[in-house]
Amino acid sequence: MRCIRVSDPDSFDGLVNGALKASSAVYVLFFGREAPGTNKSWCSDCVIADPLVREEIGKVENSILLEVPVDRSTDQDSATNTFRKRGDIRLTRIPTLLRWGKAGPSAIRLVEGECTRAGIRRYIALTDESSGHATPLLESEERAVTDI
């Protein structure tokens, strides 16, 4: 797995497009930016999810993980607020894990406490474009992994 940190929101589209040229297994993780003093995210769910996301995405052949740090929604001056306003992303909660394809992000996303080891594994299987079809969801799973 290759990790790419998106430090500048203005570079997001270029980095995603570059990743898509190199791999069909492109994932984007939006997480709470690390505090300068501690180097730990202010988002406790993000601290828990980060190693799980890295481990499970790392098992996907030729995968690329774009890591996008975002500030608190109350920080109105933050450039990362653009991800909350973009129609294709509509970021409302973090962590948020998206699979990105040539047509944009998957309609299915994992958010907050859904980023468990089992949830991530299921998400990878559900969004695997190489299989040629999406794995059907059970009704309970659909409620658990969809945030539209």
Phi, psi of 84 (to 5 degrees): -80, -25
**Pairing, β 64-70 against β 2-5:** parallel
User: Of all helices (H) and strands (E), which one includes residue 16?
Assistant: helix 12-22
Distance (Å, rounded) from C-alpha 98 to C-alpha 109?
5
Torsion of CA 92, 97, 99, 102, to 10 degrees: 40
* Candidates 26, 29, 46, 52; catalytic one: 46
The answer to whether residue 43 is catalytic is yes
Which helix (H) or strand (E) element contains residue 94? none
Q: Count CB-CB contacts under 10 A for residue 119.
A: 20
Question: Would residue 115 show up in a list of annotated catalytic residues for this protein?
Answer: no
Determine which one of 43, 97, 98, 126 is catalytic: 43
- Stretch (H or E) spanning 65: strand 64-70
Catalytic positions, written as ranges: 43, 46
